Amino acid sequence: MPINLLSVFAIADYLVAAIVLGLPIARLPAPARNIGIALAAVAVVVHASLLLGMHRGGLDLHFFASLSLVGFGIAALTLAVNLFRPVAALGVIVFPMAALLLGLDVFYAMPTSAEPMEWQIKLHVTFALIGYSVLSIAAVLAILLSLQERALRRHRLDSGLIRALPPLTLTESLLFRLIAVGFVFLTLTLVSGVLFVENLFAQHLAHKTILSIASWFVFGILLFGRWRWGWRGNRAVRLTLIGMIVLLLAFFGSKFVLEMILRRAV
């Protein structure tokens, strides 16, 4: 099947999965939740095959290809999270985002190709992808946690979105577990970068390295504060979002400026 048709199928699958998961939130009749998860699983598999087919099995790290790769990672990890803690609201947000990023890569971006990489660099990139994906889900969950706490204070717990979330304590527990896992992979990313990436503070990598370290400190401080002083609530949400914004700038800030504005390869 041509790549464009497969892409349309995957995008439609993502969107239908989000709709199925979102029907109970909108208080509309809906099929079983497992149907939405199954549709999303099919979309993730097709998305993976498209990434392999479009870029010939290599890791293409150009701007839109990277976005699509991250969209795939976030969608796949959202499925994994829902196996242990059913959080339909995550899928309603994440799956349309994955569909958008895939569509941009297929239908908008100029054709690019993956550059050959040694296994050490592939390992470094894999750590970065997993860490970024996990922390992205944590950021979405932090926003949902903030909405949940606000609804609790205003005694509006009957709204569809709030009812789709686990109890507040479980949402918060899941948030910090995701941050802890993401922090481990962010640490592995930095360590592997020191070990395997030549001249980590070269001009085109310096800001990426510095911002990644800054994000690592933010998440590290948050985890330490949680362990030592029991930080939670708005403080946890703010630090999670600050850390994620810094990490977003580290991962995609330079790519956007160099590729989309200056039209230079990274």
Instruction: Note whether 150 and 251 are same-domain residues.
Output: yes
pLDDT at 186 over 80: yes
Residue predicted with more confidence, 161 or 110? 110
User: Of the candidates 90, 116, 142, which is a domain's last residue?
Assistant: 116
Query: What mean pLDDT do residues 12-37 have?
Result: 83
The answer to which of 58-72, 232-246, 247-261 has the lowest mean pLDDT is 247-261
How many structural domains are present in the chain? Answer: 2
pLDDT at 192 over 80: yes
Instruction: Note whether 30 and 156 are same-domain residues.
Output: no
The Cα-based distances of 49 to 3, 52, 56, 57, 118 in angstroms read 10, 5, 10, 9, 22
- Determine the pLDDT at residue 33: 75
Cβ neighbours of residue 27 closer than 8 Å, sequence gap 6 or more: 160
The angle that helices 233-248 and 168-196 make with each other, rounded to 10 degrees, is 30
Structural domain including 264 reads: 117-266
Instruction: Note whether 39 and 126 are same-domain residues.
Output: no
pLDDT at 266 over 60: no
Most confident among 89-98, 151-160, 202-211, 248-257 (mean pLDDT): 89-98
pLDDT at 203 over 60: no
Instruction: Note whether 12 and 108 are same-domain residues.
Output: yes
Instruction: Note whether 163 and 254 are same-domain residues.
Output: yes
Instruction: Note whether 21 and 135 are same-domain residues.
Output: no
User: Of the candidates 81, 116, 151, which is a domain's last residue?
Assistant: 116
pLDDT at 121 over 70: yes
Instruction: Note whether 243 and 139 are same-domain residues.
Output: yes
Residue predicted with more confidence, 161 or 242? 242
The answer to which of 6-10, 147-151, 159-163, 219-223 has the lowest mean pLDDT is 159-163
Render pLDDT for 51-105 as a digit per residue (tens, 0 to 9).
887 666 567 777 888 889 999 999 999 998 887 777 878 899 999 999 999 999 8
Provide the residue type at 46 as one letter. V
Q: Give buried/exposed letters for 235-253 (b at 16+ CB in 10 A, else e).
A: ebbebbbbbbebbbbbbbe
- Determine the pLDDT at residue 264: 59
- Determine the pLDDT at residue 179: 97
- Determine the pLDDT at residue 10: 95
Is-contact 238 145, C-beta < 8 A?
Answer: no
Instruction: Note whether 106 and 230 are same-domain residues.
Output: no
Residue 109 CB: number of other CB atoms within 10 A? Answer: 18
User: Of the candidates 116, 147, 180, which is a domain's last residue?
Assistant: 116
Residue predicted with more confidence, 160 or 132? 132
Residue predicted with more confidence, 22 or 138? 138
**How much of the chain exceeds pLDDT 90, in percent?**
46
Instruction: Note whether 69 and 176 are same-domain residues.
Output: no
Is-contact 44 76, C-beta < 8 A?
Answer: yes
pLDDT at 182 over 80: yes
Instruction: Note whether 121 and 71 are same-domain residues.
Output: no
Instruction: Note whether 195 and 142 are same-domain residues.
Output: yes
Instruction: Note whether 170 and 262 are same-domain residues.
Output: yes
Q: Which of 48, 57, 61, 47 is nearest to 112 (CA)?
A: 61
Query: What mean pLDDT do residues 187-195 have?
Result: 92
Provide the residue type at 43 as one letter. A
Q: What is the 3-state secondary structure (H, E, C) of the chain?
A: CCHHHHHHHHHHHHHHHHHHHHCCCCCCCCCCHHHHHHHHHHHHHHHHHHHHHHCCCCCCCCHHHHHHHHHHHHHHHHHHHHHHCCCHHHHHHHHHHHHHHHHHHHHHCCCCCCCCCCHHHHHHHHHHHHHHHHHHHHHHHHHHHHHHHHHHHCCCCCCHHHHCCCCHHHHHHHHHHHHHHHHHHHHHHHHHHHHHCCCCCCHHHHHHHHHHHHHHHHHHHHHHHHHHHCCCHHHHHHHHHHHHHHHHHHHHHHHHHHHHHCCCCC
Is-contact 134 181, C-beta < 8 A?
Answer: yes
